[in-house]
Amino acid sequence: MAISRARKLRDKQIREGKLDPAIKRRSWDGVQPVTKSTPTLQEKKRRVAHKHKRNSFPHTEDGSVYYFTPASSSGITQGRASGL
């Protein structure tokens, strides 16, 4: 089989006294690779239940929601809707 272009380039760099890239790939230096696990049913349910809670409207303790509307002809610029 023929020698690849990348292998020829690596050999040339080694001959010239430069660092061999294969040395960098040999060791993890004590780091253990982590395998990715699939989420459990509980994790899936929690993710769906909390999906938009950080980005929702600001709620108060009594469950009401504050909302802001631009200046209108009636002069009301801020309102409060309860029960939303």
pLDDT of the chain, 84 residues: tens digit per residue: 799 999 999 999 999 999 888 887 767 777 777 877 888 999 999 888 888 766 555 555 666 666 667 665 555 555 555 555
Residue 41 CB neighbours (<10 A)? 7
* The pLDDT value given to residue 6: 92
pTM confidence score: 0.32
The residue extents of the domains of the chain are: 59-84
pLDDT at 50: 81
Amino acid symbol at 35: T
pLDDT at 3: 93
